[in-house]
Structure 1
Amino acid sequence: MTPEELSAAIATCLKEAFDAGELNVPAQALPTEVRVERPKSREHGDWATNIALQLAKPAGVPPRKIAELLSTRLAQIPGVSKVDIAGPGFLNIILDAAAAGELAKAIVEAGKSYGTTTAMVGTKINLEFVSANPTGPIHLGGTRWAAVGDSLARIFLSQGADVTREYYFNDHGNQIDKFARSLLASAKGEPAPEDGYGGAYIQDIAGEVMANNPDILSSEDPQEEFRAQGVELMFAAIRASLHEFGVDFDVYFHENSLFEDGAVEKLLEQLKGSGNMYLKDGAWWLNSTDYGDDKDRVVIKSDGNAAYIAGDIAYFKNKRDRGFDLCIYMLGADHHGYVARLKAAAAAMGDDANRVEVLIGQMVNLVQDGKPVRMSKRAGTVVTMEDLVEIVGTDAARYSLARFSSDSNIDIDLDVLTKKSNENPVFYVQYAHARTCAVGRNAEAAGVDRSAFDAGALNHATESELLAVLGQYPGVLVHAAAFREPHRVARHLEVIAGAYHRWYDACRVTPMGEEAITDVNRTRLWLNNAVGQVLANGLSLLGVSAPERM
């Protein structure tokens, strides 16, 4: 019995109790879909639901009374072995072996769609991440957001959302000026400006611009030439690095376009009439303290020019004008102040501040031989995406960065990530998938196929454990999407891999020696293939490959 089937069965029991007059609630309070989850402890059963607690208020009775009513009806459902009531009214449901085992067949038949839902259908999300300045290679913080952001986009898509991956191309402002001056200095053979950029990549780009334009130093405005061409070359390199990392964006939005097409100026005029902006000392201020900011922010300076936040407000309006219901910004550890500012920006436009979400990512530290890794061959001062991928590979880099909560600092041990052992988390999960493929190949060679399926045969303790964690997978995806936490997927794949390795050691798919092939062997092949499917599905959501041989 799948979670969906059990959910539908519980909903049917509720409707029958309502029709029989046993459950006195408003008709609209009856759910069409009942949420079921795996209990934290397997001793508490196969599935649990808190539906009795949800209905207690509209029914005006203690939740335990509803739980008792439901437990009697649920116990009569085919495949349900026992129903226990826990605490104030939680229902713990135990399935018989056959009903539990049906999940293996359901997963194989669902294939790549197992775990997907329609929970977020109709939600149009703009997910902005990385958005590194085009003044140098992507550093570790941006690399972390590339892994986490792309995984989150894939998870949203698995739940039916309409997702646009967006990169905000910061090509307006002081940082670009510093970049252009650094390129010009390199081309002249001078040291980098005191506030400029160093590293071999500056020399590489300056050299490429010079090669394309031999007379550039004698042009009317060489710094502007280096700015235009250098930014284009740097951004092309960033896009190439991201593509190699398995991350491609649907939209590359140029910050400069907001100023060139007059969007900022038009918006500022509109905002002056907003109740969320006020005039003081000749400047227009946004009352961002109302949204948790430590101080109100100047939007239009006393000289009439736009402050930096004006571009942020115009950018948010642009996103909403493009029809996005939810705008998620994934920003670095030094951007905490943006949470309140962006919400205030939404409110200033008369919009719902909840249309804005800001996720803050913390620092990543690389460790090798017990010591921090700091220097980069290309950037000179920081470790870049290319450095990390060169050392451990794309799969290990993406997996290791996605398996931690993004709001925690993490230390990545390069010695562990280069090991071909179970100590390396990505190897542990990928090896489990490769093992399911090897078992499948061995089964085929031995003549074991999936021509029969006896769900009741999956009654070994390790099979019960394995079925339980496979059944949890769809719920893990729902939570990963709801809490914006892709690391939940990675951690659950490790749980599945562990349960699979224990099952592999205890239960054989192919018969020993001259033993006859039975339906137990055939049914175990279904379970083996179900594990392989779920591991492949989960790894795909993290942008990590599922190798068939290792």
Structure 2
Amino acid sequence: MTPADLADIVARLLAESAERRGVDDLRPSADDVALERPRSREHGDWASNVAMRFGKRLGVAPRELALELADEIGKVDGVKAVDVAGPGFINITLEPASSGALAKRIVDEQGAFGQGTALAGVSMNLEFVSANPTGPIHLGGTRWAAVGDSLARILQAQGALVTREYYFNDHGAQIDRFSRSLLASFLGEPTPEDGYAGGYIADITARVVADYPGDLAAIPRDEAQEVFRAVGVELMFGDIRAQLHDFGVDFDVYFHENELHDTGAVDRAVARLRELGHIYDADGAVWLRTTEFGDDRDRVIIKSDGEAAYIAADLAYYLNKRERGFERNIIMLGADHHGYIGRLMAAVAAFGDTPWVNLEILIGQLVNLVKDGVPVRMSKRAGTVVTMEDLVDAVGVDAARYSLVRSSTDSQLDVDLDLLTRRSNDNPVFYVQYAHARTRAVARNAEASGVTRERDGVPVFEPGLLVHETESALLGSLQQFPRVLTQAAQLREPHRVARYVEELAGAYHRWYDNCRVIPQGDAPIEPVHNTRLWLNDAVSQVLRSGLGLLGVSAPERM
């Protein structure tokens, strides 16, 4: 019996209690039933405070409601005991066979275990990374690559129809600075004061020169700069795409900002907002009345010189996404973009949509690279910032992705290079991957010793034999996987999956130290050994699924 099964039962009993008392407006669901693992296993497998949450609404003392619910829960098949503690905590102990049955279910369902339907059919656009094509991806963008791709996988595991999108900033002043930097490099001039430096500029310059069919030095300066702009940006963006692919991140859509301006999308967005009555003209400029929707001031969309302000592209881009049919749009931005939230949510409301529903904005904090206890400040290639390439070269893709996903994006992150290159249990990615490799070694050794999950095509599985305290703990950890995935999707927090697989790995290692799958010496193979192999393989499957959702490999051997 999984927590979801138990929550469904408690919700049904609570609804029946409300009906008996004539409380018509209480229709609880499984989501309303909080189930937690007790700190002490002596208090059972699961505990719930549901009676304290709903007692007042039902007009009954929480402890009285708890006793009523406990009496009914105790009649459910698979429940061994129920008791009420304190003011109304309900502690539930399951029959070993009921808990143990989960192991076979996980193996039978394979990768489907843990997946849900909470977001079934919801069309979602997830925009992340979107680094300017003026240089390699820095550590902040690398964090979003790992987190964004993991979040997309988790949302898909809940049934969402996710489109990964990269917003290609190929319009504006930063592209001019990039092309002037390439030209200066070609001509042997100093880097422009507002330009870009680093070894990659010389690399791109040489490749542009190699691709150009003629002599760049023989054409006028402004024409040469235009060549560097067109070819250089394309080469830089090609490098970015290749780096992301090698990092395990591929996008479904690469959307060019220039398209918004070239196709008249900005004009259409302004016209739509004018029709809705939220546009006004003042001082020769076109303004959006965002203060009506909670912004601290109104925003200029078209400046007095006729040029579009930055927010104009944001308006057109959001409208474009909605016209493409995306119900939910999620944008991941760095901490330096926190000030954009108010104006973007006001724009969403101005279009008649619902802020934080049709558009969500996730803000990520900074990332620091640390080696020998000292921050790593410079990149050999970029010259000014540490890049994705630097991190992957130092620790590999798996360690890089895992280290960037396992912490909440709300917190600043220090990535310790010394720790991530260590092959020990202090290294969290090694700890989890080693647990998976160990499950596969156990399975190989079991096969060599004649311990199998089936005999003559019939499963050998007696879940009531899984009675050791480490088996109970391990099964309890496995039971939490579906709920962890649901919460990670709802809260947009992939780090919950990373923390979960670490806890599961710990429970497995403790079980491995106490329970044998293979008989000792010449002892005969008994059903408990076959049953434990099912449990071993169930852990293997969940670790593999969890790591897969993070874009991290699950090695067979280490």
TM-score (norm 2): 0.93
| Structure 1 residue 303 displacement after superposition | 3.2
In the alignment, is the contact (CA less than 8 A) between 1:285 and 1:298 conserved in 2? yes
- 1:10 Cα deviation (Å)? 3.5
The more displaced of 427-436 and 72-81 is 72-81
Q: Any gaps of 5 or more consecutive residues in structure 1?
A: none
Which residue matches 1:193? 192
Inter-partner Cα distance in structure 2 for 1:120 and 1:160: 5
- 2:316 corresponds in structure 1 to 314
Q: Considering only aligned residues, what root-mean-square deviation do their CA atoms show, in Å?
A: 2.1
Contact kept, 8 Å, 2:10 with 2:30, in 1: the verdict is no
1:216 is the counterpart of 2:216: yes
SS in 2 for 1:24: coil
Partner of 1:448: 451
Q: 2:286 aligns with which of 264, 284, 287?
A: 284
Contact map agreement 1:276 1:347 (CA 8 A) in 2? no
Contact 1:364/1:409 (CA < 8 Å) preserved in 2? yes
Distance 2:110 2:468 in 1: 24
**TM superposition shift of 1:69:** 2.4
Correspondence 1:298 to 2:310: no
Q: Residues 36 and 47 of structure 1 are in contact (CA less than 8 Å); yes or no, is this contact kept in structure 2?
A: no
Deviation at 1:52, TM superposition (A): 4.2
State the match for 1:324 in structure 2: 326
Write out per-residue CA displacement over residues 461-515 of structure 1, whole angstroms, 9 at most, x where no aligned residue: 1111111111111111111111111111111111111111111111111011011
**CA apart distance, 1:453:** 1.1
What is the distance in 1 between the residues matched to 2:427 and 2:486? 27
Partner of residue 271, structure 1: 273
Q: Which residue of 2 aligns with 1:350?
A: 352
Q: Which of 360, 367, 375 does residue 378 from structure 2 map onto? A: 375
CA displacement at 1:106 relative to structure 2: 1.5
Do the aligned residues in 2 keep the contact of 1:2 with 1:102 (CA within 8 Å)?
Answer: no
User: Please, which moves more after superposition, 255-264 or 200-209?
Assistant: 200-209
- State yes or no: 1:546 paired with 2:545: no
Deviation at 1:75, TM superposition (A): 0.3
Give yes or no for contact 1:103–1:471 (8 Å, CA) kept in 2.
Answer: yes
Tell me the SS of whatever aligns to 1:119. coil
Distance 1:517 1:488, change over 3 A: same
Aligned residue type for 1:332? G
SS in structure 2 of the partner of residue 383 of structure 1: coil
Distance 2:96 2:447 in 1: 26
> Residue 131 of structure 2 corresponds to which residue in structure 1?
132
The equivalent of 1:484 in structure 2 is 492
> 2:373 & 2:15 partners in 1: Cα distance?
61
Q: Kindly report which structure 2 residues correspond to 1:236-251, keeping only aligned pairs within 5 A, or say none.
A: 236-251=238-253
Higher mean C-alpha deviation, range 246-255 or range 348-357:
348-357
**3-state DSSP of counterpart to 1:339:** helix
User: What residue in structure 1 maps to residue 82 of structure 2?
Assistant: 83
Cα distance, 1:538 vs structure 2: 0.3
Distance in 1 between the 2:462 and 2:314 partners? 59
- Correspondent of 1:514 among 514, 522, 540: 522
Deviations 1:59-89 (A, max 9, x none): 4444544433221111011111122335654
Q: Secondary structure at the match of 2:165?
A: strand
User: Which residue is equivalent to 2:457?
Assistant: none
> 1:469 — aligned with what?
477
The alpha-carbon distance between structure 1 residues 42 and 313, as it changes in their structure 2 partners (threshold 3 A), is farther
- List per-residue Cα deviations over 1:389-417 (Å, max 9, x = no partner): 01100000000000011111111110110
How big is the shift at 1:323?
0.9
What's 2:116 paired with? 117
- Of 424, 429, 440, 2:427 maps to 424
The amino acid that maps onto 1:403 is: R
C-alpha deviation, 1:187, in angstroms:
1.4
Cα displacement string for residues 336-394 of structure 1 (whole angstroms, at most 9, x for unaligned residues) = 01111110111121222231111111111111112111111211111111111011000
- In structure 2, what is the equivalent of residue 254 of structure 1? 256
Q: Counterpart of 2:251 in structure 1: which amino acid? A: F
Offset from partner CA, 1:2-49 (integer Å, 9 cap, x none): 23433444455457667xx74534387254777453335244432244
* Partners of 2:78 and 2:94 within 8 A in 1: yes
Give the deviation of 1:312 after TM superposition: 0.4
Q: How does 1:90-109 map to 2 (within 5 A)?
A: 90-109=89-108
| Secondary structure of residue in 2 paired with 1:478 | helix
Q: Secondary structure at the match of 2:379?
A: coil
Partner of 2:341: 339
How much does 1:288 deviate? 3.7
Contact 2:38–2:44 (8 Å) recurs in 1: no
CA shift in 2, pair 1:84/1:338, >3 Å: farther
Between the aligned partners of 2:333 and 2:32, the Cα distance in structure 1 is 36
Q: d(CA) in 1 for partners of 2:155 and 2:226?
A: 41
Please tell me whether the aligned partners of residues 367 and 412 of structure 1 are also in contact (alpha carbons under 8 angstroms).
yes
2:24 corresponding residue in structure 1: 26
Q: Distance in 2 between matches of 1:64 and 1:125?
A: 43
Structure 1 residue 272: Cα displacement: 2.9
Q: Note if contact 1:37-1:475 (Cα within 8 Å) is conserved in structure 2.
A: no
Query: C-alpha distance in 1, partners of 2:46/2:150?
Result: 28
Consecutive unaligned residues in structure 2, runs of 5 or more: 455-459
Q: Is the 8 A contact 2:97 2:466 kept in 1?
A: yes
SS at 1:201 equivalent: helix
Name the SS of the counterpart of 2:446 in structure 1.
Answer: helix
How far apart are 1:430 and its partner, in Å?
A: 0.1
**Contact 2:70–2:83 under 8 Å retained in 1:** yes
Q: What CA deviation, in whole Å up to 9, does each residue of 1:103-133 have, x standing for no partner?
A: 1112111211111010111321111000000
In structure 1, the partner of 2:35 is 37
Q: What one-letter code is carried by the residue in structure 2 that aligns with 1:549? A: R
1:385 has 2:388 as partner:
yes
- The SS at the match of 2:473 is helix
Q: Which amino acid aligns with 2:337?
A: H
Distance 1:33 1:148, change over 3 A: closer
Q: Distance in 1 between matches of 2:279 and 2:51?
A: 47
**2-structure distance, mates of 1:3, 1:203:** 58
Looking at structure 2, the residues matched to 538 and 351 of structure 1 have their Cα atoms a distance apart, in angstroms, of: 35
Equivalent residues, number: 548
Q: Deviations over 1:215-247 (max 9, x none)?
A: 234345111111111111110100000000000
Contact 2:45 2:476 in 1 (8 A): yes
Paired amino acid for 1:169 = F
Q: Equivalences for 1:393-432 in 2 at 5 Å?
A: 393-432=396-435
Amino acid at match of 1:161: A
Give the stretch that moved more between structures: 271-280 or 373-382.
271-280
Q: Percent identity?
A: 61
Q: Distance in 2 between matches of 1:47 and 1:278?
A: 59
Q: 1:223 to 1:40 in 2, by over 3 A?
A: farther
Q: Distance in 1 between matches of 2:434 and 2:30?
A: 40
Distance change (3 Å), C-alpha of 1:269 and 1:305: farther
- Are the equivalent residues in 2 in contact too, given 1:26–1:58 (CA < 8 A)? no
> Is 1:529 aligned to 2:529, yes or no?
no
Q: Is the 8 A contact 2:12 2:29 kept in 1?
A: no
Q: Which residue does 1:460 correspond to in 2? A: 468
SS in 2 for 1:29: coil
Aligned mates of 2:2, 2:445 — CA distance in 1: 28
Q: Which residue of 2 aligns with 1:227?
A: 229
More displaced stretch, 439-448 vs 345-354: 345-354
One-letter code aligned to 1:26: D
Rounded to whole Å, the distance in 1 between the matches of 2:293 and 2:438 is 52
